[in-house]
Structure 1
Amino acid sequence: MKKKILVVDDEPSISMLIDFNLKLVGFDVQCVFDGEAVFDSIRQFRPDLIVLDLMLPKMDGIQVCRKLRSQNNMVPIIMLTALQDLSDKIAGLDNGADDYMTKPFSPQELTSRIQAILRRTGALPTADEAQAMEIGPIRIKPDQREVYLNESLIDLTPKEFELLLFLCKHRGKVLSRQQLLHGVWDYHFLGDTRIVDVHISHLRDKIEKNARTPEFIVTIRNVGYKLMEPAMKESYA
């Protein structure tokens, strides 16, 4: 069955370019041109991934992201922005986008990023990979893509889940930001490592008692991050 991609951009030339290139590699594509149209399209088209422009009429990309995540809709989102300001890119990630690209962009690179995200979210874990993992009060169920904190299910975006799972598989090891980009985002080039920092920050907000003094995901200065298992299991209630 073809994977479905929803393209949200009010520039017809951009939408047509993305539509053409995605259909060329076998995706089913639907295009809408304002933020409000996203929600009807989600109900009817049921996309596997959304390519979402930041600047949209009626409801901008940040508002769309925020509303989707508030509804616990964790469909993967790649944000498109024509703005060079870092704060706009970070705002997209802060509100639930999994990745971003700055216009003008290569349609082939966008296609590759979409394929990488869908490959990861759709891949069935092996028998070994499907085994539940525990780090203190955190329990990860890879086969169900679920994470529990003290037996309570916590909502993670697709990338937050994959990042935590990757850290867990390499617990105790120092991982550079570039290694995380390669292992989680499937980037085979020098990507923007700020994407990693924002997602780490979101994970800490959801799994740490105090994100400012993390017990699990610790920063290794000038290198990257390491997942630590607390020596004693404590109640995080």
Structure 2
Amino acid sequence: MSKDKLRILLAEDDLNLGVLLMDYLETEGFDVKLCKDGELALKAFHSHSFDLCLLDVMMPYRDGFSLAKEIRTKDKKIPVIFITARSLKEDKLKGYDLGADDYITKPFDEEELLWKIKAVIRRIPESAGEDKSEVISIGKYTFNVSNQSLTIGASTKRITEKESDILNYIAIRRNRVIKREEMLKDLWGENDYFLGRSLDVFITKIRKYLKEDPDISIENVFKVGFIFNVPPKQIEQ
């Protein structure tokens, strides 16, 4: 994806900041649509095509979190960066749980935002081109990567995009140590405390999804990462 063709949806209720960011990003070659509240941003998203969303968390009519949730129902892959004046870890964890690609806290330098946008853009072709099997057998489970579904017996559960990315990541690297730092950088582009907490939440959920097969486990390796233990004889790709 080339930068000069990338269209950004910018939802920001502080119009002074919004215009400043729009002007700056347009000088960097981006096409930016500025919306002053969440409802207008949602209408714009349904009416136009965008490649990336910059969403202020605190907005009238519809906040950034609920806006992101609506956007994800239409496009599960579009990158989302949250902009917020709050630095509460609960907010950051909620954002990452919704599948946010990054998070930036006001006040910030425009170049910092540009760096984050570029980092997200660089990850897009990497994830799109990653070699993923359509269906992976994991013990008694069948994991359909493209459909984001886990099946055991007659029961099928649909999981989220981020859960699917994480499960696919550890399934490919099964039965060997997966370094936490490398996993965070590969899946989110960086390694920090809040992303680490979010990863722990996702791992806990995936453990619950796989609990029907006692031969499978996600083992914590102290200060290193994880091992996804699956009996080799039960794995097919």
Pair 100,220 (structure 1): closer, same or farther in 2 beyond 3 Å? same
Could you say which residue in structure 2 is the equivalent of 1:23? 26
Residues 226 and 30 of structure 1: CA distance in aligned 2, closer, same or farther (over 3 Å)? farther
1:220 aligned partner: 221
Alignment partners' CA distance in 1, 2:226 and 2:179: 7
Question: 1:21–1:232: structure 2 CA closer, same or farther, 3 Å change rule?
Answer: farther
Query: Aligned partners of 2:8, 2:143: CA distance in 1, in Å?
Result: 31
Using structure 1 for the length normalisation, give the TM-score.
Answer: 0.75
Structure 1 residue corresponding to 2:80, chosen from 68, 72, 77: 77
Residue 233 of structure 1 and its aligned partner are, at CA, apart by 5.6
- The residue that corresponds to 1:139 in the other structure is 143
Task: State the one-letter code of the partner of 2:112.
Answer: E
TM-superposed deviation, 1:204: 4.9
Identity of aligned residues (%): 26
Q: Which of 159, 169, 189 lines up with 1:166 in the alignment?
A: 169
1:156 matched to 2:156: no
Q: CA deviation at 1:139?
A: 3.3
CA contact (8 A) 1:181 1:193 kept: no
Q: Report the count of equivalent residues.
A: 223
Tell me, yes or no, if the aligned pair for 1:52 and 1:79 is still in contact at 8 Å.
yes
Give the Cα separation in 2 of the matches to 1:88 and 1:14: 21
Larger Rg: 2
Distance 2:182 2:195 in 1: 13
Counterpart pick for 2:67 among 54, 64, 67: 64
Q: Is the 8 A contact 2:7 2:32 kept in 1?
A: yes
Counterparts in 2 of 1:160 and 1:112: CA distance versus 1, 3 Å: farther
- Give structure 2 stretches of 5+ with no counterpart: none
Q: What's the TM-score once normalised by structure 2's chain length? A: 0.75
Q: 2:122 aligns with which of 119, 122, 138?
A: 119
Aligned to 1:194: 194
Q: Is the 8 A contact 1:166 1:183 kept in 2?
A: no
Deviation at 1:47, TM superposition (A): 1.4
* Residue 43, structure 1, aligned to residue 13, structure 2: no
RMSD of the TM alignment (CA)?
Answer: 3.3
Distance change (3 Å), C-alpha of 1:138 and 1:79: farther
Listed as ranges, the gaps of 5+ residues in structure 1 are none
Rounded Cα–Cα distance in structure 2 between residues aligned with 1:135 and 1:197: 28
Task: Give the counterpart letter for 1:227 in structure 2.
Answer: F
1:13 lines up with 2:16 in the alignment:
yes
Instruction: Judging by fraction of residues, say which structure has more helix.
Output: 2
